Structure 1
Amino acid sequence: MRKTLATAAGALLALAASLLAAPSPAQADTQAAPGFHVADGRLLDATGKDFVLRGVNHAHAWYPTRTAQALKDVKALGANSVRVVLATGDRWTKNDTADVASVVAQCKENRLVCVLEAHDTTGYGEQDGAVSLSRAVAYWTSVKAAVQGQEKYVVLNIGNEPYGNTGYAAWTSDTADAVARMRAAGFRHTLMVDAPNWGQDWSFTMRDHAAEVFAADPDRNTVFSIHMYGVFNTADKVKSYLERFTSQHLPIVVGEFGNMHSDGDPDEDAIMATAQQLGVGYLGWSWSGNGGGVEYLDMATGFDASRLTAWGQRIFSGTNGIKQTAKEAGVFSDAGPATGSCAVSYNLSDWGNWFNADVTIRNTGTTAVKGWQLAFAFPGAQKLNSVWNAKAVQQGNEVRAGNESWTETIPAGSSVSFGFNGSSTGTNGVPAAFTLNGNTCTKS
């Protein structure tokens, strides 16, 4: 990842013809789509519900062995989505069909919408070794089997930051062509396209030509992604850019942003506040593993969810942060229990400065729960140590526990149990309330 400030006639003729035939973005209803789809400038999930991305980026291409735990951790911290870095094999080792399928399965297991992006296009035209969007389309075609049929759960981000600060005028025709080629190859997914200028669009190329690219998609199912770093260092710049899209009913997300950067100091508070105000999605960069002088963009130190950095604490727990604003996609939350259809028992064994707790979740509803997250708050100064039969993270006094593969399903009328030990100072006690997948459970 690098962030800096710093056409064929036939394709243009074809683009012009498509514009003459196409309705405006505000008028065009998307064709029937099997999963995520755009309607009137909004991203809707397969249930027809408005979906706003609230998540983070994870560098799977470089840290594949960290992915399983990373997805569990970001879900436990409240994210509803994750943007996953993949490699086409041109600059970094290719993430092949089997690997991509595994990533998708893990996203689904953790009830996370999976935004998959091909990273080898980063800085094309300026960065040595970067490849074109055309090459990215060839990559997606090669791994199509991993994502076909997953349109309810997966968004395809064709290529990361597909131009640097050289040759970016070709962005419009190249992006429109890439979208058209993805559709011709049979991809029905929502497609996401990044801005040029290392993703920051300081030239306003994407801003001023987004409608053309949207119209070039026969499915009218393309979302635009801006990366906000040093270019977006004031609230006015953030608001002006995002409102240009929303006012035209064009779907926009902040696909990457940070709390500081070598090219300037982005206004992360304005980014998050404006995104919340406008109902725009955001995906912060990045969970962990940054290098090359931007290690400060790590949200978790050493991939350890118990050691969140200031940036990690800000994006997850701050005002307009993920925990406060994220809502799970309808395809997942519709599968969860309704209020009153779960019961939790919490048996505490207290030995003064340390304790054990055995927790049982009972599904009192009529349908099975597949994939779960139990949230509660310690009533005092308790600290979580080891956990069994679940994965759990703690931030402040809040705890989020999620299933292991062997505790994933809770059949109707049945239960699963997990336990943990911890340390405490002062009076210990039982949490006052429990929520399962966002729904309140009774205490038993």
Structure 2
Amino acid sequence: MRKRLSVAGVALLTVLAAVFAFGQPAHAAAGFSVSNGKLYDANGNEFIMRGVNHAHTWYQQQTSSFANIKALGANTVRVVLASGDRWAKNDTADVANVISLCKANKLICVLEVHDTTGYGEQSGAITLDRAVDYWLSISSALAGQEKYVIVNIGNEPYGNQGYGTWATDSANAIKRLRAAGLAHTIMVDAPNWGQDWSFTMRDNAASVFAADPQKNTVFSIHMYGVFDTAAEISDYLGRFRTAKLPIVVGEFGFDHSDGNPDEDTILSYTQANGIGYLGWSWSGNGGGVEYLDMTTNFNPNALTTWGQRIFNGANGIKATSKEASVYSGVTPTTPPTTAPPTTPPPTTPPPTTPPPTTPPATGGCTATYTIIGQWQGGFQGEVKVTAGSAAINGWTAKWTLGSGQSISQAWNATLTSSGSSVTATNVSYNGKLGAGASTSFGFIGSSTGTPAAPTVTCTAS
């Protein structure tokens, strides 16, 4: 999410020194690994993150927060760091101290660079390649910590503009870190301020995962106002499960300026399906989102409404968190290479209809319609809108419903209907598309028969 906190920046250390700090590419002591879409710790036990985010870079004096977060039941803390480009750099010594605090409190450390937030839209934001420079500059603090540390390359690495290169940039960042000898599990955030309303991460995750020579990458979605219905949450996470790609909810809240996320479904779905989550955030929020503080002034005895919900509520941290076995010493019960899925496939299956055909360009964009899933009396559909050879500022998609069909709910578009004619227009955050870029919107409908995929026309504005 956007955080409006500012601290003076400092210069990065040189990449060359960092490479020597890592030494020759060689795998250190075994750490976290990914298999069959699940995350496993160094003992071979499945690990499901249950924790919170902590804005360390702006509140470095709050070192007691690590013990307090652990005392409330968390097994993971995602720690905000800065590269020195937008906020004062967390240097090697500070990162080493953060890791030691995590280990002392038996927490898994997810370390993230925040300076990438909203690149392409937010002034001063840095590229993922620049974030890699930072990780290499503090490499000596990371070396040998693969059992305890996951490296989240960059927070929300694109805003709502210029995100079309997310897959290439993420893959290149991973390959560069691996070439320098980093053997940790790597986490990558979604674009669109982390919320992936364009489905750029969802649709390109497999290629990014394949680009990792170690096949040890986890994907992170941030769920705020875009994820305000159970259908959106279960569909998004369910697709990763079906594809056997590891996904965590790296940030989410109970409310937000862009809408009201369905935190109850986030918590229940992740618990039912073995998916990790990390709520935003422990304390210290500013810029109008102070309501996302879980504690008042970092006081663990003064939990806010949000803090009570995520720590002590149904499917919350206290009830569902399990300490990593690298701290508890639990030996594996099943080898990670043969670990079966913990739950059946998602209730919404992948499309069973043939791939839709793409109609001719109409006014600078095209649209394709896909039936995502169907059941007795209902169905879920999705329309993908793609800009043509030039950028567009908005779009309108139209189609005709089949006999006996109606639409009751939609997301990522504004839908109106007149008889069987349906018109969908972009919402505020997904109208602008670069040349060749795509976005998608979905809907739930009712049907008296088997729904068919109609032809959709698209007009750009």
Pick aligned residue for 2:298 from 299, 303, 307: 303
Q: Please say if 1:49 is aligned against 2:52.
A: no
Which residue does the alignment assign to 2:374? none
Judge conservation of contact 2:150–2:186 (CA < 8 Å) in 1: yes
Which residue does the alignment assign to 1:183? 178
Which residue does the alignment assign to 1:323? 318
Q: Distance in 2 between matches of 1:33 and 1:223?
A: 19
Q: Distance in 2 between matches of 1:132 and 1:32?
A: 28
Judge conservation of contact 2:28–2:146 (CA < 8 Å) in 1: no
Q: Deviations over 1:200-225 (max 9, x none)?
A: 00000000000000000000000000
Distance apart, 1:33 and its partner CA: 7.2
Q: Within 5 A, what are the aligned runs for 1:203-242?
A: 203-242=198-237
Judge conservation of contact 1:123–1:161 (CA < 8 Å) in 2: yes
Pick aligned residue for 1:174 from 163, 169, 173: 169
Corresponding residue SS for 2:101: helix
Which residue does the alignment assign to 2:30? 34
Judge conservation of contact 2:157–2:189 (CA < 8 Å) in 1: yes
Which residue does the alignment assign to 1:128? 123
Q: Distance in 1 between matches of 2:248 and 2:157?
A: 16
Q: Deviations over 1:342-398 (max 9, x none)?
A: xxxxxxxxxxxxxxxxxxxxxxxxxxxxxxxxxxxxxxxxxxxxxxxxxxxxxxxxx
Which residue does the alignment assign to 2:81? 86
Check 1:243–1:32 CA distance in 2 against 1; reply closer, same or farther (3 A cut).
Answer: farther
Check 1:39–1:335 CA distance in 2 against 1; reply closer, same or farther (3 A cut).
Answer: closer
Pick aligned residue for 1:285 from 267, 276, 280: 280
Check 1:98–1:32 CA distance in 2 against 1; reply closer, same or farther (3 A cut).
Answer: closer
Distance apart, 1:123 and its partner CA: 0.2
Which residue does the alignment assign to 1:394? none
Pick aligned residue for 1:195 from 185, 190, 198: 190
Q: Within 5 A, what are the aligned runs for 1:53-72?
A: 53-66=49-62, 68-72=63-67
Amino acid at match of 2:237: L
Which residue does the alignment assign to 2:106? 111
Q: Distance in 2 between matches of 1:131 and 1:65?
A: 26
Amino acid at match of 2:151: L
Corresponding residue SS for 1:127: coil
> Mind listing any 5+ residue stretches in structure 2 that lack a counterpart?
4-26, 332-461
Amino acid at match of 1:92: W
Judge conservation of contact 2:43–2:330 (CA < 8 Å) in 1: no
Q: Distance in 2 between matches of 1:33 and 1:170?
A: 33
Corresponding residue SS for 1:61: helix
Q: Deviations over 1:43-91 (max 9, x none)?
A: 000000000000000000000001x211110100000000000000000
Amino acid at match of 2:115: D
Judge conservation of contact 1:234–1:266 (CA < 8 Å) in 2: yes
Q: Deviations over 1:103-155 (max 9, x none)?
A: 00000000000000000000000000000000000000000000110000000
Corresponding residue SS for 2:250: strand
Distance apart, 1:335 and its partner CA: 7.6
Q: Distance in 2 between matches of 1:263 and 1:32?
A: 43
Q: Distance in 1 between matches of 2:330 and 2:97?
A: 22
Which residue does the alignment assign to 1:263? 258
Corresponding residue SS for 2:95: helix
Judge conservation of contact 1:116–1:157 (CA < 8 Å) in 2: yes
TM-score by length of 1: 0.68
Judge conservation of contact 1:2–1:198 (CA < 8 Å) in 2: yes
Q: Distance in 2 between matches of 1:116 and 1:192?
A: 9
Distance apart, 1:32 and its partner CA: 10
Distance apart, 1:185 and its partner CA: 0.9
Which residue does the alignment assign to 1:371? none
Corresponding residue SS for 1:47: coil
Corresponding residue SS for 2:134: helix
Which residue does the alignment assign to 1:342? none
Corresponding residue SS for 2:302: coil
Corresponding residue SS for 2:52: strand
Q: Distance in 2 between matches of 1:294 and 1:121?
A: 20
Q: Distance in 1 between matches of 2:64 and 2:285?
A: 17
> Mind listing any 5+ residue stretches in structure 1 that lack a counterpart?
4-30, 337-444
Q: Within 5 A, what are the aligned runs for 1:16-35?
A: 34-35=30-31
Q: Distance in 2 between matches of 1:2 and 1:61?
A: 15
Which residue does the alignment assign to 1:439? none
Distance apart, 1:2 and its partner CA: 1.2
Q: Distance in 1 between matches of 2:55 and 2:210?
A: 32
Corresponding residue SS for 1:183: helix
Which residue does the alignment assign to 1:154? 149
Which residue does the alignment assign to 1:2? 2
Judge conservation of contact 1:33–1:188 (CA < 8 Å) in 2: no
Judge conservation of contact 1:59–1:85 (CA < 8 Å) in 2: yes
Q: Distance in 2 between matches of 1:39 and 1:158?
A: 20
Q: Deviations over 1:412-435 (max 9, x none)?
A: xxxxxxxxxxxxxxxxxxxxxxxx
Judge conservation of contact 2:166–2:191 (CA < 8 Å) in 1: yes
Q: Distance in 1 between matches of 2:164 and 2:108?
A: 32
Q: Distance in 1 between matches of 2:231 and 2:28?
A: 37
Q: Distance in 1 between matches of 2:257 and 2:88?
A: 27
Check 1:326–1:61 CA distance in 2 against 1; reply closer, same or farther (3 A cut).
Answer: same
Q: Within 5 A, what are the aligned runs for 1:360-379?
A: none
Amino acid at match of 1:181: R
Amino acid at match of 1:47: N
Distance apart, 1:34 and its partner CA: 1.3
